[in-house]
Amino acid sequence: MMLQIFDHYSLIIGVTVAFFAALVSVKWMVRYLSRHGLEVFGYYRVAIAVVTTVFLLTAEKIWIQ
Over residues 15-58, the pLDDT tens digits come to 999 999 999 999 999 999 999 888 988 999 999 999 999 998 88
Residue 61 pLDDT greater than 70, yes or no: no
Sign of the torsion formed by the C-alpha atoms of 9, 13, 16 and 18: negative
What is d(CA 33, CA 42) in angstroms, rounded to the nearest whole number?
12
Predicted structure pTM score: 0.57
Contacts of 3 (CB under 8 A, 6+ apart): 11
